[in-house]
Each structure stands twice: as C-alpha cells, then as structure tokens.
C-alpha cells in the first residue's frame, strides 16, 4: 500500500522490520533492496531537478518533475506546495491539477482533490481518465452515488480499462452497486 502511494520510507521500514523478525525472508529482503535502490534514484533525480530549478525557478516543467519526485518519495506536503506553485504560474495547467489531486488524495485530503479533479474535467471534458479519477475520489470518500455518476460518464467518454476497474482498490465502495455489477458483466 505504502509503495503504491509513494510512501517509500514507510514501505522500507515495514520490510526492515520483517527482515529483523525473519532474517531468512528473501522476499522481504529483495523488496527492501529494490525500495532502497528506487529511493536512491529518486533522491538523485530530485537533487538534479533542484539544481536546475536554482537557475530557472519558474520553469513549470521542472516544477512538475520536482512535485512528481517528491510525491513518489512520499513527501506529499512538499509535493502539494510545488504543484500549487505551478498553478500560481499557470492556473489552467491540467497536469498540475491532476498531480495535485493525486497528492491531495494520497494525503487524505479528498475534498480538495475533488475540487481539482472537477477543474480537470472542466478543462478536458473529453478525457475519460479525468472522469474516472473523479469517480475514484468520490468512491474513496464514501459518496457512492456521485462515484457511480462519474464512472458512468467516464465509460460514456470512452474509458475501457476493464482490468483497472476490476482491480482498483479505490472503487471498493461501489462494487456492490447494480451499476458496477452490470458494467463488469458487460465488459
């Protein structure tokens, strides 16, 4: 869970604990090594981006990259601040709204994430992924009817990733609805 949500430090701590308790657990050892390697790569990329930003602090591409790296590293508050800076520079930047919504959602601020996802839908009304992400945010927030409404719109707009629909943990709250069951039956 932590790994999927950018909490590399938390995931690594859990694997370190498993390795302490079960020193022979090869799976935990491999996962820990992989996480440590990934974190080192992210840290190196972040240092490079920060160096480039020192020369060009308003470079939106670099700021977005920095926000993404911070988010992947689990530094959600910092990522939110960086995406917010991008939106100060470019209020209609769809990537910044999408990534900010992701960071806000991961940090538990789904209400604010929903605000940015709604802005994304307004900016890109033909983008089925924007509707899908909004459906997920509402589902996680426990707003089943809203989630079903937005998932229906996502499908109308062309969302066809049936495998994701089956596996996405964010949609847990709507799996019991007749809409979801019918959608899965016809996919």
Residues 23, 12: Cα–Cα separation, whole Å: 15
Model pTM greater than 0.75? yes
Q: Give the residue ranges of DSSP H helices in the chain.
A: 8-21, 26-55, 60-72, 76-89, 94-106, 110-123, 128-140, 144-156, 162-167, 178-185
Angle made by CA atoms 88, 89, 92, in degrees to the nearest 5: 80
The mean pLDDT of 91-114, rounded to a whole number, is 94
pLDDT band for position 39 (cuts 50, 70, 90)? confident
Tell me the DSSP string of 162-182: HHHHHH-GGGGGGTTSHHHHH
Residue 89 has pLDDT above 70, yes or no: yes
Distances (CA, A) of 180 to 98, 110, 148, 171: 24, 22, 8, 9
Q: For 10-37, what is each residue's pLDDT tens digit?
A: 777 777 777 778 887 777 778 778 877 8
pLDDT band for position 170 (cuts 50, 70, 90)? very high
Which residues, 6 or more positions from 38, have their beta carbon under 8 angstroms from its beta carbon? Answer: 8
112-129 b/e with 16+ CB inside 10 Å = b?
ebbbbbbbbbeebeebbe
């Amino acid at each position: 869970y932590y790994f999927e949500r950018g909490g590399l430090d938390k995931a690594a701590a859990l694997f370190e604990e498993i390795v302490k308790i079960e020193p022979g657990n090869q799976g935990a050892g491999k996962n820990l090594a992989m996480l440590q390697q990934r974190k080192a790569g992210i840290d190196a990329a972040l240092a490079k981006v920060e160096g480039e930003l020192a020369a060009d602090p308003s470079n939106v591409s670099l700021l977005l990259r920095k926000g993404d790296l911070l988010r992947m590293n689990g530094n959600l508050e910092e990522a939110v601040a960086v995406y917010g800076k991008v939106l100060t520079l470019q209020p209609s930047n769809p990537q910044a709204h999408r990534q900010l919504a992701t960071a806000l959602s991961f940090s538990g601020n789904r209400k604010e994430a929903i605000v940015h996802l709604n802005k994304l839908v307004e900016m890109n009304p033909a983008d089925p992924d924007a509707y899908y992400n909004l459906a997920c945010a509402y589902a996680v927030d426990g707003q089943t009817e809203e989630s079903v409404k937005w998932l229906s719109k996502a499908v109308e707009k062309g969302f066809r990733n049936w495998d994701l629909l089956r596996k996405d943990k964010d949609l847990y709250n709507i799996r019991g609805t007749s809409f979801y069951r019918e959608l899965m039956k016809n996919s």
